[in-house]
A and B are shown apart, each in its own frame.
Chain A
Amino acid sequence: MTTANITRSIDARGMPCPGPLMSLIGAIREGQVGDVIEVLSSDEGSRSDIPAWISKAGHELVDLVEEDGFARFIIRKVR
C-alpha cells in the first residue's frame, strides 16, 4: 500500500482510548464512499476496537501494520 492511495491520515498517537476510534469515526462520517483513511495509534485498545468497529459498521480494514511503538490502520469507507 502506498501513501498515494490514502485520502486522509490521522495521527492519533499519544491519544488514549477511545480517542483514536472516535477520530476514525469522525473521518468516516465526513468522507466519501471509497475513501481510504489511515489512522496511527499507540493506544493498545485500538488494536481490538478499530477492527471491531469496522466490522460492525460495515467498512473494510485494508491493512494493519505494526510499526515501532504504534499501529497503522488502513481503512476503506465502504458505505
Chain B
Amino acid sequence: MDEAQTLSLVLFSGTDDKLNAASVLTAGAAAMGRKVNVFLQYWALDAFRADRITKDHGVSSEAGSEGAALMQKHGGQHWSEIFRQAKDIGEVGIHACSLSMEMFGLKVEDLDPLVDNQEGVASFFLEVDGPVTFI
C-alpha cells in the first residue's frame, strides 16, 4: 500500500460514544493503510485504565437519555476491541499524555496493554504530519 498521511487523534473525552467513534475512525484508517497516532489525555486516558476499560463510561451530554438508550440497544463490539483489531491490522500507536498520567497518579502498568507508552506532547507531535483531530 502507498504511503498515506497519518491520522493523528487526540482523545480527551472519556465517554463510550466518543471513544467508540474514535475507535471506528482508527480501524477505518488502519484498514486503508494509514498510520494512526493516538494521544490520550484527561478522561480518555482515565477510560484506558486496565481495571475499568470495559466498564460503563457513560455517553456525552448531547446524547440525552434517548441517545444513551439508543446506543445501548445498538450494541456492537466494545471500543477497546475495535482498537485492538485496528492495532492488529495496521500501524497504530496509542500514547498516554504524561501530564495526564501525572495528574491521575498513573503508571503505564495501570493502563490497558493497548497503550504503547507514555510520552510528552512534543514526542506526540514528532509523528504528526498533518491535521490533528481532537475528540
Contacts and interface: CB of A to CB of B under 8 A. Distances in A.
A18 B82 contact: yes
A26 B89 contact: yes
Interface string B7-32: 00000000000000000100110011
B76 A29 contact: no
A52 B32 contact: yes
Chain B interface residue bracket vs A? 10 to 19
Chain A interface residue bracket vs B? 10 to 19
B131 to A, nearest CB: 21
Interface of A: 15-19, 21-22, 25-26, 29, 49, 52-53, 56-57
Which 5 pairs between the two chains have the least Cβ-Cβ distance?
A: A16-B76, A22-B85, A18-B27, A25-B89, A53-B31
Interface of B: 1, 24, 27-28, 31-33, 74-77, 82, 85, 88-89
